[in-house]
Structure 1
Amino acid sequence: MAAPAAGSDALHALGVPQLVEGFRRRDFSPVEVAEAVLGHVELWERHLQALYLLQPERVMAQARESEARWLHGQPLGPLDGVPVTIKDNIATRGDPTPLGTAACELVPAAADAPPAARLREAGAVFLAKTTMPDYGMLSSGLSSFHALARNPWDLACTPGGSSAGAGAAAAAGYGPLHLGTDIGGSLRLPAGWCGIFTLKPSLGRIPIDPPYTGRAAGPMTRTVADAAWAMQVLSLPDARDSMSLPFQDIAWTDIERGPALLRGLRIGLLLDAGCGLPVDAEVREAVQAAARLFEQAGAHVEPMAPFLRPEMLDGMDHFWRMRSHMDLQALPRARRAAVLPYIRAWADSAAGMTGEAVFRAASRFHETRVATVAACAPYDLVLSPVSPGPAAPAEWASPTNDPMRPLEHIAFTVPFNMSEQPAASINCGYTAGGLPIGLQIAGRRFDDLGVLRISRAFELLRGPQRPWPSPPTPAAQTLD
């Protein structure tokens, strides 16, 4: 395991509101913060492999521009000078977007994707892009293009995925804000396995390009407050997302309602997803302990019956296999051969599917949506594990490490992509070996602010957490 974290007053470890207040008061500058973050990254990065396109000179140039704006009292927005990372698959102007695979041609992006554009407009300092697996189709940091990403809580373990580098970077303290994406759990799984917070928002709350069913971008942070500050910027409108929600001027930072907010709420407790991997005993116990805290705060918690059936999860899996098979078949032979063998085996298993089989597989998305909405209707929110077990070995492509059983760990997360409901991951405990355990908090559709408020209430209820991991010491490195 990693050594205990350094003091939380270090500049690299400050949260967004603390940074912004420090800039305003001139206690420190964006340049000093950027230098501190870069120094901390240098200690960690060769162990974690979380970043892509880290260019310190570009980081410092942005920090100096932000410093000048603050000195003139003219910050661009609520994130001016705040270091951020952005997942590989979210385009940033002038940078290639490899999608985690060696099969992609490295062509500079012509424009920022919507979430990156909003961050740039708000004055955020782009630290780097973060690593991901091939095409975002794995819950790990295994990639044919990027180096293998690892979990800072235990370097032998995966950070999860597909927002792999973002999860590792947040837990390791590469600044306060990291932007990832999620179509079946790719924000929440790494958040759960890395002990951080994330919000997968309602579909369309954060405009994204390209948009498609279930896909959402979201902040990955150490605290709920940091995510709330990010939502002020990320939720601004962008016409490129044909599935985006009408813009609402939401008071995103109004999250301090306290545990009294939970009094009288009706909460469903889902401990059996209905399919997929069985829930590990330590995960079950941690989620049950979290539910008891909600009860002690005055909420009414009741067990939920499972609602996701194996044929639903299998159908979604098989549809995604066919989509990926078609994408890979469109590549020249040499580029197709560069894709991870696990991904190729998974995708090519769909080669013999009939039109009828593809149609039946596609119908499972809507079926999952209907079942999820119906199951959640009696409740104000639903609590569940994020994943059935803790982080798997770093070298594994998925918790089963079997391309014919690739999605058995997402049965708790994928339903809320299909139902378009906001769902957060927040740490609720640790295994005997010290690995974090994620609690999923799913709310009513469109009530993203409500999920943030409830997550903040739980953040207060759960009490102090273990120190964040810090870089391995030289002595520890000799034992590897």
Structure 2
Amino acid sequence: MGNSLADLSATELLTGYRTASFTPSDVAQDVLARIAKFEPTINAFYAHDAAEVIRSAELSTARWNRQAPLGALDGVPVTLKENVARKGIGFPSGNAGNPAPAAAANAPITDRVLGAGANVLGSTTMPDWGMLSSGVSSLHGITRSPHDPELTTGGSSAGAGAAAAAGYGPLHVGTDIGGSIRLPGTWLGLATLKPSFGRVPLDAPYLGRCAGPLARTVGDLALLMSVIAEGDSRDFSQLPPERLDWTLAGAEVTGLRIAVHTDAGCGMDTDPETAAAIDAAAEAFRAGGATVERIDSFMTPGMLVDLDRFWRVRSWVDYQNLSLENQRKILPYVADWCRAGADVPGAELLRCYQTIQSLRQATVAATSEFDLVLSPVSPVAAFPATWPMPFNDPQREMAHIGFTAPYNMSEQPAASVNCGFTSDGRTIGLQIAGRRFDDTGVLRAAAWYEANRPDHFSVAWPS
């Protein structure tokens, strides 16, 4: 970790504010310097106003000088993914052909972080419609890894992941419909959480879609969740209000029943180095007092194909609603992927939807006896930044989400935390999934592993 205030965790920043060791204005200056250094290369921001960041920090500094913070995140830098609405700012969802009128109102998440006093640095980039697992966008160009600009950030929360890894402050919000929070997590070495469906209110809920945090530490995930998980009536799919205990102190795994698998049952084969890292993490949980059992894969190739086809039809509807001029602006890879959904009959689309329900049933059936399930996030490590997908073929189904997508469809929480490196130094993420609604249990397990993994599995952050 570097010596800059930009590298401190949110908890460390708040402690510094309380003790007057430094101010939110000091932090903002360091973060803005970090952004100026990295942003020309990594391209994490869609919208960023340095003057507004300074103004917000000054207001927060004045509140801390009076020992009257506005809320739990006062003065802490936060970024929001492009598709999380901010009043007065357009959200084109990463593509150059999508009209982007200014949002008429904030999303619930935006209201929560602003109400807690956070300093919103800006909106982060995403690929076209969020339907790529990379930082390749017809609107933004390429978002790159701060660890190695030749490598992908993952996506679709590409800019959020890049900002977190580069040290644009500690807290970052992404969205996830099939792995879009956890995939940047694995390919950048971050800690992330895709919450239970409905845990974090959205203003545009959709089957499987969740919003959640990306950070360098599990503790920061929990802190951000304590703010953004507050209920909001604008989300008609939200879970009932519940006061969860987001503290992670004293997390243990003794007595837990844990499953592990390294074969998704579909899509790309798991790299041997990735599988070995997950097995080693499972042994750490066993050594910590958990009972660990290997389970068979529960997703099938047909489930993956039908899920992919369902999404293609959904995106084709968006694509065909654009003018011909705007259709031509869409990333060619995404346009080709969408076109495969153009002639799918209604009966076939309904069959795909029913397959998704079968996937949900299979996921719950395979995992319900266990407190946690360990697996890779992705079967492969980070790929070139210029590739839209790890397999780089729009005619192929989304062959890399066999470990992540099931938990979107089953609505179960799933976290990621770094558990090792490939022989050439690329990060490997451990996915920790839990029973539906047990977001805090998943985070406690992730915090336990973070504290008990070998020291050399910690990520050396660029600074």
1:463 Cα deviation after fit: 3.3
- Where do 5+ consecutive residues of structure 2 fail to align? none
Tell me the secondary structure at the aligned position of residue 48 of structure 2. Answer: coil
1:19 Cα deviation after fit: 0.7
Give the Cα separation in 2 of the matches to 1:364 and 1:411.
14
Tell me the secondary structure at the aligned position of residue 53 of structure 1. Answer: strand
Q: In the alignment, is residue 191 of structure 1 matched against residue 185 of structure 2?
A: yes
Quick check: 1:153–1:434 contact (8 Å CA) kept in 2?
Answer: no
Corresponding residue number in structure 1 for 2:121: 127
1:117 Cα deviation after fit: 1.0
| Structure 1 segment 49-448 matched on structure 2, within 5 A | 49-252=43-246, 254-258=247-251, 261-448=252-439
Corresponding residue number in structure 2 for 1:15: 9
Relative to the length of structure 1, the TM-score reads 0.95
Q: In the alignment, is residue 468 of structure 1 matched against residue 431 of structure 2?
A: no
What's the CA shift string for 1:356-409, capped at 9, x where partnerless?
A: 211111111111100000000121110000000001111111011111114100
Give the Cα separation in 1 of the matches to 2:204 and 2:322.
20
Quick check: 2:413–2:439 contact (8 Å CA) kept in 1?
Answer: yes
Quick check: 2:77–2:170 contact (8 Å CA) kept in 1?
Answer: yes
Tell me the secondary structure at the aligned position of residue 458 of structure 1. Answer: helix
Quick check: 1:380–1:444 contact (8 Å CA) kept in 2?
Answer: yes
Report the residue type matching 1:380 in the other structure: D
Quick check: 1:202–1:446 contact (8 Å CA) kept in 2?
Answer: yes
Distance 1:305-1:466 versus aligned 2 partners, 3 A rule: closer
Tell me the secondary structure at the aligned position of residue 301 of structure 1. Answer: strand
Taking only aligned residues, the RMSD between alpha carbons, in angstroms, comes to: 1.1
Quick check: 1:104–1:335 contact (8 Å CA) kept in 2?
Answer: yes
What's the CA shift string for 1:42-70, capped at 9, x where partnerless?
A: 11111111112121101101111111111
Give the Cα separation in 1 of the matches to 2:53 and 2:333.
35
Quick check: 1:398–1:406 contact (8 Å CA) kept in 2?
Answer: no
1:353 Cα deviation after fit: 1.4
Paired residue for 1:25, among 19, 22, 46?
19
Give the Cα separation in 2 of the matches to 1:310 and 1:274.
7
Tell me the secondary structure at the aligned position of residue 425 of structure 1. Answer: strand
Quick check: 1:88–1:130 contact (8 Å CA) kept in 2?
Answer: yes
Q: In the alignment, is residue 6 of structure 1 matched against residue 2 of structure 2?
A: yes
1:432 Cα deviation after fit: 1.0
Quick check: 1:170–1:176 contact (8 Å CA) kept in 2?
Answer: yes
1:28 Cα deviation after fit: 0.6
What's the CA shift string for 1:234-268, capped at 9, x where partnerless?
A: 0111111000001111121x21124xx21121111
Give the Cα separation in 2 of the matches to 1:442 and 1:350.
31
Give the Cα separation in 1 of the matches to 2:38 and 2:322.
36
Give the Cα separation in 1 of the matches to 2:105 and 2:137.
25
Tell me the secondary structure at the aligned position of residue 94 of structure 1. Answer: coil
Structure 1 residue runs of 4 or more that deviate by more than 3 Å after TM superposition: none
Give the Cα separation in 2 of the matches to 1:291 and 1:343.
37
Paired residue for 2:39, among 36, 45, 56?
45
1:83 Cα deviation after fit: 0.3
1:6 Cα deviation after fit: 2.6
1:421 Cα deviation after fit: 0.5
What's the CA shift string for 1:92-116, capped at 9, x where partnerless?
A: 1111111000012231111111111
1:203 Cα deviation after fit: 0.4
Report the residue type matching 1:16 in the other structure: A
1:428 Cα deviation after fit: 0.2
1:467 Cα deviation after fit: 5.0
Aligned length: 462
Give the Cα separation in 1 of the matches to 2:122 and 2:71.
20
Report the residue type matching 2:295 in the other structure: M
Distance 1:459-1:466 versus aligned 2 partners, 3 A rule: closer
- Where do 5+ consecutive residues of structure 1 fail to align? 472-480
Relative to the length of structure 2, the TM-score reads 0.98
Quick check: 2:304–2:397 contact (8 Å CA) kept in 1?
Answer: no
Tell me the secondary structure at the aligned position of residue 129 of structure 1. Answer: strand
1:40 Cα deviation after fit: 1.0
1:216 Cα deviation after fit: 0.4
